[in-house]
Amino acid sequence: MTRRRREDSVRNEAQVLTAARETLDERGLGADVREIARRAGVGVATVYRHFPTKDDLVQAAMRTDLDGWTEVTAQAVEEADAWTGLRTIVEHTVATMARHRAILDGMTSRAEAFAACHAHLAEALSGVVARAHEQGTLRRDVSAGDVGLQILALSGVAQLAPDEQTLHRHVGLTLDGLRART
């Protein structure tokens, strides 16, 4: 006879996830597990009971945001105007990275746990870029890989320029640079 799961257990798991999200957003992948535990009002062992490894915790904490990002980008590929889709992908990806520093860290450090994200981004960009080339709205000499690099570069800016406005202006600047000259 299997007992019902203890209520403090589920409560703690939720609190750990929340604390992990907060801490990872602030400190990035380098966040200390002890600090996450402290913010959750819990001991370290409790964290490790629910998530066998720090990587597992990170993935669980970022899952929702990552899924949202995946959906938005996948949808942007379907956009009739490929340039609009490209702009959406760039803006939304940069915004996500700016808000969640751990995701940026994972992408730039090529952590194995983020390989799927890399693949998804590459695929989405490859589609949109090809169609933007057909529609003549993207510079011919700009590849999907180039756009990917620019996205990561902009995300790097996000960590140096705290204010939303500056970041958005830089995204506009970059997009201007990518657009085919009329």
Partner DNA sequence: CATTATCCGGAACATCCGTTTCGGATAATG
Partner DNA sequence: CATTATCCGAAACGGATGTTCCGGATAATG
The answer to whether 94 and 173 are in contact (CB under 8 A) is no
Q: Considering only residues 29, 125, 154, 171, which one is a binding residue for a second copy as defined by CB under 8 A? A: 154
Q: Which residues bind DNA (CB under 7 A)?
A: 1-9, 12, 30-34, 41-46, 48-49, 52-55
CA-nearest of 18, 52, 16, 50 to 34 is: 16
Binding mask 80-99 for a second copy (x = CB under 8 A): --------------------
Of residues 3 and 181, the one with the C-beta less far from DNA = 3
Q: What one-letter code names the amino acid at 30? A: G
Taking the C-alpha atoms of residue 33 and residue 86, their distance in angstroms, rounded to an integer, is: 37
Of residues 6 and 181, the one with the C-beta less far from a second copy = 181
Interaction partner, residue 63 (DNA, a second copy, none; CB < 5-8 Å by kind) = none
Of residues 53 and 135, the one with the C-beta less far from DNA = 53
Of residues 73 and 174, the one with the C-beta less far from a second copy = 174
Per residue, what are the HEC states of 95-161?
Answer: HHHHHCHHHHHHHHCCCHHHHHHHHHHHHHHHHHHHHHHHHCCECCCCCHHHHHHHHHHHHHHHHHC
Q: Considering only residues 120, 152, 168, 180, which one is a binding residue for a second copy as defined by CB under 8 A? A: 152
Cβ neighbors of 168 (< 8 A, separation 6 or more) are: none
Binding site for a second copy (CB under 8 A): 108, 141-142, 146, 149-150, 152-154, 156-157, 159-161, 166, 169-170, 173-174, 176-178
